[in-house]
Amino acid sequence: MSYANGPKIVTDGLVLCLDAANRKSYPLSGSTIYDLSGNGYDGTFGASTAAPTFTSANGGVLNFDGNDTIASSSIFSSYPFSVSMWVTNSLNWVAGSNQMDQLFNMSISGQRVSMGIVNVSGWPGVITLMYGGTSHWTCPGPIATGSNDWHNITWVVYGSNNSNHKIYLDSVSQTLTNNGGAHGGTAGWNIGSNNTNGEHWHGKISNVLAYNRTLSADEVRRNYNALKGRYGLT
């Protein structure tokens, strides 16, 4: 698998590749975004809620207006894993709004795993990794707000209650803080919301990659360099 504007993305351990800019993945219309990894984990628009809308900017992106969801399948059932997403954030975070916007909600080993941006308990719009039981990991953030302010977020997750996790923002590893706390709610598989269609993303999502292993810093950088030109980054 390769892209015209950069080197090949990492394919070792790749189990999901959704790409709104690739016509084999999203053919300009319809309610399905097709998984290019070959594993058949296609996403379904608006299965039980509103569907994101497609625009051709940056080769092709999906717009999430705070009500939209892509229903996904159970991709993997255990740790470790890595997820990379190209996104914009359109929500102006208000201090104390007690809100989470989810990019990916998962069920791993019976735990609810949530990745997105959160603004609770004094964490003002920070990138987060939460999983059921004990840990809410955050990095300083927030990512900038703007319809064309693209960023790549990569989560590298080693295991439950494991302090080796990494969050990369635009291929740069961030300093993580474990804020503790339990993570409740329903475990399941959605992109752009939680499993019960709440905590919706506000912004755009273009490319989603998931791996059944941890990515190295060099591999995160390789994926970033493969796609950054599409989003006007050098």
pLDDT digits (tens, 9 = 90+) for 158-174: 988 788 999 999 999 99
pLDDT at 126: 85
User: Which residues partner with 62 through β-bridges?
Assistant: 54, 205
Q: Which residue has the tokens 């999502």?
A: 205
Q: Given a cut of 60, is residue 115 above it in pLDDT?
A: yes
pTM: 0.93
Gap between the Cα atoms of 172 and 190, Å rounded: 26
Q: Which residue has the tokens 């996790």?
A: 165
pLDDT digits (tens, 9 = 90+) for 2-19: 655 556 899 999 999 999
pLDDT (mean) for 207-231:
96
pLDDT (mean) for 92-116:
81
pLDDT digits (tens, 9 = 90+) for 65-76: 888 999 998 999
HSE, side-chain direction, 13 A CA sphere, residue 80: 15
> Which residues lie closer than 8 Å to 211 by C-beta, 6 or more apart?
10, 12, 13, 14, 15, 81, 82, 83
Q: Which residue has the tokens 């201090």?
A: 95
Gap between the Cα atoms of 211 and 218, Å rounded: 15
Q: Given a cut of 80, is residue 124 above it in pLDDT?
A: no
